[in-house]
């Protein structure tokens, strides 16, 4: 992958300066700063290819990551319970 800052900058421009999730314009600091987002998360075998990347504000990116982690933890807990019951 190219320099991450360059890719992020290109994606921000391509998206019209707005977050791919909430559609709000990016800012230079705070929760609305632009970040690189994996459309298909790496934990689900997503890649670093440009076709799998988008620009998301920090708030949306963190929120999505938090939700993915909770889902992963629930799935792992369910698998452990199932393994114990076998």
pLDDT of residue 79: 85
Q: Where are the alpha helices (DSSP H) in the chain?
A: 4-14, 58-85
Q: What is the CA radius of gyration of the chain?
A: 16
Query: Domains along the chain?
Result: 4-85 (3.40.1800)
| pTM exceeding the 0.75 threshold for the entire prediction | no
pLDDT of residue 78: 85
pLDDT of residue 29: 82
Closest CA to 56 of 32, 76, 74: 32
Tell me the pLDDT of the chain (86 aa) as tens digits: 568 889 999 999 999 999 999 999 999 888 899 999 999 888 889 999 999 999 999 999 988 877 877 877 888 888 888 888 75
> How far apart, in whole angstroms, are the C-alpha atoms of residue 59 and residue 67?
12
Residue with tokens 């921000």: 12
pLDDT of residue 85: 74
């Amino acid at each position: 992958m190219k320099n991450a800052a360059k890719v992020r900058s290109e994606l921000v421009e391509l998206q019209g300066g707005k977050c791919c999730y909430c559609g709000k314009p990016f800012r230079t600091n705070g929760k609305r700063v632009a970040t690189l987002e994996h459309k298909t998360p790496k934990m689900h075998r997503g890649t670093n290819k440009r076709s799998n990347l988008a620009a998301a504000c920090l708030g949306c990116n963190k929120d999505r990551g938090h939700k993915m982690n909770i889902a992963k933890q629930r799935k792992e807990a369910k698998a452990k319970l199932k393994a114990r019951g076998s």
